[in-house]
Structure 1
Amino acid sequence: MRATRLVSLLLLLQSRDRMTARELADALKVSVRTIYRDVDSLGAAGVPVYGEPGHEGGYRLLDGYRTRLTGLTAAEAEALFLTGLPAAAAQLGLAAETTTAQLKLMAALPAELRERAGRVADRFHLDLPPWYLGAERTPHLAPIAAATWDQHALRIRYLRWAEPHEITRTVHPHGLVLKAGNWYLVARGDGRFRTYRVSRILDVDVLPQAFDRAEGFDLAAHWADYLAHFDQRRHRETAVLRLSRRGLERLPRLLEPAVVAARKTTSGPDAAGWTEVEIPIESVEAAVPELLKFGGDVEVVAPEALRAEVITALKAMNRTYGG
């Protein structure tokens, strides 16, 4: 375990010009004291690693030093080819670079690992868009990605749900996220971070001025926090339903996981097998088509506005079918 950590520490220093003991400890999930001991061990083994004091200091390798680690394990070689997203790379304008990098990696691998890595690419394929939905059109993704990488400001014209629907903003792009086949831009503007669905960006201009990234910004942590609060922001209302036994069984299949996880049983089952539950909803309008999926296995108890809308929809369907 320690040998693996020493190799990881060495590769971190090789890939980054300079890292503090705290940064190394956080990356390797150990204590700063452990990093001090590991650096001493590397030095004793002849690795030219040295520390620089001060605010801008940290550990670094002697200029020009490169490890002579020439081998990957079989599992590591296979994993490298599972991380490739050719479709995503193509959307970002990096298809040629991705192909070239994979070819170079394959050429550098020993024959036995080359065969195993190639076997993974032959047997596993990642198709990101969900069933029955095609990939969204993102004609502006490549320039947005370039600006994100080069830290250039963007002026975007964006179509949103709230009024006014079409807005223009100047933002500092901090990251791109691919979620369920859809691209999202995380950008800072007016002192706060917002998330923009790239397919809803109508026009984009890459501005000449560069910007400094927000200190300490972590894209993965930001996205995790955004998702954790997304359903709370979206589901602002609640509905009380009566569900039959079959309706209760179908609940996980017919409603989204966040709603199912947040449901609360308020009473039942009664003698007829009906159970009363409370669920979060986005709005009355959004809830009606979701509840109609249950057919006769659901009754809306509250709010009255939702009950009235469901009754109106059922009456309209009854007229359509000649009832």
Structure 2
Amino acid sequence: MMQVHRMFEIIYLLMHKKTLTAKELADQFEVSPRTIYRDIDTLCEAGIPIYTTKGKGGGIRLVDSYILNKSILSEKEQEEILSSLYGLHAVSGDTEQVLSKLSGLFNKTSPSWIEVDLSQWGADDSGKYQLLRTAILQQRVIVFDYYNSYGQFSRRRVEPLQLWFKHKTWYLRAYCTDKEAVRLFKLTRMKRLEQLEDIFEECPLLRTDGLLPDPPSRQTPSIQLVLRIDASQAYRVFDEFEEEQITKEQDGSWLVTVEYPEDEWVYGYLMSYGPYAEVLAPAYIRDILKERLQLAANRYL
């Protein structure tokens, strides 16, 4: 592995410094000139066009205008590698050096077709993502304050496994030592996040198996809702629902049929539309919302 890394660095240096002597490369990598010549022979056998010249101004150099893709990677493979690294850079922020080197080797300018910002508007969450990334890769236990979907507060101690992005939201998949089961934690609800010195040994089954189901007593039943949403809310309709769930009415309003788990979240979500949405079915949901809206109105009377 050390030899491969050194040969990669040799190519990079030759592309930027044009000509180097065996002694200069040997000093750079703290090896003998003989080792450098062996590396050069290996690179030549792999199809890298390196040649040496003797005399004043001589040394080791690459064929002019050489780029890495002529020998190893296709154009598509280069683009896929750079795009993947830019995605990682958005989360970790520590791939800039690798990106710079590969962009130079591929003779490509930095792709600018996408920009990823994981923070909320007006907030900087980059530290949270970096801490979680480090904890996952180093298998370090973390603790944090958490409010679940029932509004219950707890201090959690977990073994982090993966970051998940699902339905516009980031989650942490982790083994909760208190519940002794794998759980999903919404990142926006995780506060006072800390990484401990404790190292955990990951069970392979936890990585490959799906989420363990909640106990039956905590499973949330789903309901099918029929909503009429005002025409002025088109931006929300197309942000929040699938096309097959939406029907446009003659008056310009939107008829939406959607299935959601029935819990506190769905009541708050429906109320977030204010006067711009009406629940047509089921009838008992209408009654629940009437009662909650009345209680809310009483606070201002």
Report the TM-score, using the length of structure 2 for normalisation.
Answer: 0.53
2:75 maps to 74
Q: Tell me how far 1:149 sits from its aligned partner.
A: 0.9
Query: Is 1:99 paired with 2:96?
Result: yes
2:156 maps to 169
2:165 touches 2:171 (CA, 8 Å); kept in 1? yes
* Structure 1 residues 148 and 300, CA gap change in structure 2 (3 angstroms): same
Q: Which runs of 5+ in 2 are unaligned?
A: 5-41, 48-70, 214-218
1:287 maps to 270
Q: Tell me how far 1:173 sits from its aligned partner.
A: 0.9
1:238 maps to 224
Q: Which runs of 5+ in 1 are unaligned?
A: 1-13, 15-64, 227-232
The residue type paired with residue 147 of structure 1 is: A
Structure exhibiting the larger radius of gyration computed from Cα positions: 2
Give the aligned length: 220
1:240 touches 1:303 (CA, 8 Å); kept in 2? no
Query: CA–CA distance in 2 between the matches of 1:204 and 1:274?
Result: 44
* Structure 1 residues 303 and 279, CA gap change in structure 2 (3 angstroms): farther
* Structure 1 residues 159 and 85, CA gap change in structure 2 (3 angstroms): farther
The residue type paired with residue 283 of structure 2 is: P
Q: Tell me how far 1:101 sits from its aligned partner.
A: 0.5
2:37 maps to none
Task: For residues 269-304 of structure 1, give each alpha carbon's deviation from its aligned partner in whole angstroms, at most 9, with x where no partner exists.
Answer: 99x99998754344344323347435xxx5735324
Task: Report 1:56-71 matches (<5 A).
Answer: 68=46, 70-71=71-72
Q: Tell me how far 1:157 sits from its aligned partner.
A: 2.4
Query: CA–CA distance in 2 between the matches of 1:90 and 1:127?
Result: 6
1:176 touches 1:184 (CA, 8 Å); kept in 2? yes
Query: CA–CA distance in 2 between the matches of 1:204 and 1:256?
Result: 30
The residue type paired with residue 106 of structure 1 is: S
1:140 touches 1:203 (CA, 8 Å); kept in 2? no
Q: Tell me how far 1:262 sits from its aligned partner.
A: 5.9
The residue type paired with residue 99 of structure 1 is: E
Q: Tell me how far 1:153 sits from its aligned partner.
A: 1.6
The residue type paired with residue 192 of structure 1 is: A
2:279 touches 2:285 (CA, 8 Å); kept in 1? no
Query: Is 1:253 paired with 2:237?
Result: yes
Q: Which residue of 282, 291, 295 maps to 1:302?
A: 282
Q: Tell me how far 1:174 sits from its aligned partner.
A: 0.9
Query: CA–CA distance in 2 between the matches of 1:274 and 1:142?
Result: 44
Task: For residues 186-234 of structure 1, give each alpha carbon's deviation from its aligned partner in whole angstroms, at most 9, with x where no partner exists.
Answer: 1112332112233432223333332222214447x858x99xxxxxx77
3-state DSSP class of the match of 1:213? Answer: coil
1:83 maps to 84
* Structure 1 residues 218 and 157, CA gap change in structure 2 (3 angstroms): same
The residue type paired with residue 203 of structure 1 is: R
Task: For residues 27-47 of structure 1, give each alpha carbon's deviation from its aligned partner in whole angstroms, at most 9, with x where no partner exists.
Answer: xxxxxxxxxxxxxxxxxxxxx
Query: Is 1:198 paired with 2:181?
Result: no
Query: CA–CA distance in 1 between the matches of 2:181 and 2:157?
Result: 12
Query: CA–CA distance in 2 between the matches of 1:274 and 1:157?
Result: 42
Q: Tell me how far 1:91 sits from its aligned partner.
A: 5.1
Q: Tell me how far 1:73 sits from its aligned partner.
A: 1.1
2:147 maps to 159
The residue type paired with residue 197 of structure 1 is: K
2:197 maps to 208
* Structure 1 residues 162 and 107, CA gap change in structure 2 (3 angstroms): same
Query: CA–CA distance in 2 between the matches of 1:107 and 1:145?
Result: 27
Query: CA–CA distance in 2 between the matches of 1:81 and 1:108?
Result: 11
Query: CA–CA distance in 2 between the matches of 1:122 and 1:276?
Result: 41
Task: For residues 124-169 of structure 1, give each alpha carbon's deviation from its aligned partner in whole angstroms, at most 9, with x where no partner exists.
Answer: 1223459x9455635443333222111122222223342422x112
* Structure 1 residues 309 and 176, CA gap change in structure 2 (3 angstroms): closer
Query: CA–CA distance in 2 between the matches of 1:306 and 1:202?
Result: 34
Query: CA–CA distance in 1 between the matches of 2:103 and 2:252?
Result: 61
Query: CA–CA distance in 1 between the matches of 2:169 and 2:123?
Result: 7
2:130 maps to 142
Instruction: Report percent identity of matched pairs.
Output: 15
3-state DSSP class of the match of 2:225? Answer: strand
Task: For residues 55-103 of structure 1, give each alpha carbon's deviation from its aligned partner in whole angstroms, at most 9, with x where no partner exists.
Answer: xxxxxxxxxx9994742111222222222336x63653x43xx111112
RMSD of the TM alignment (CA)?
A: 4.9
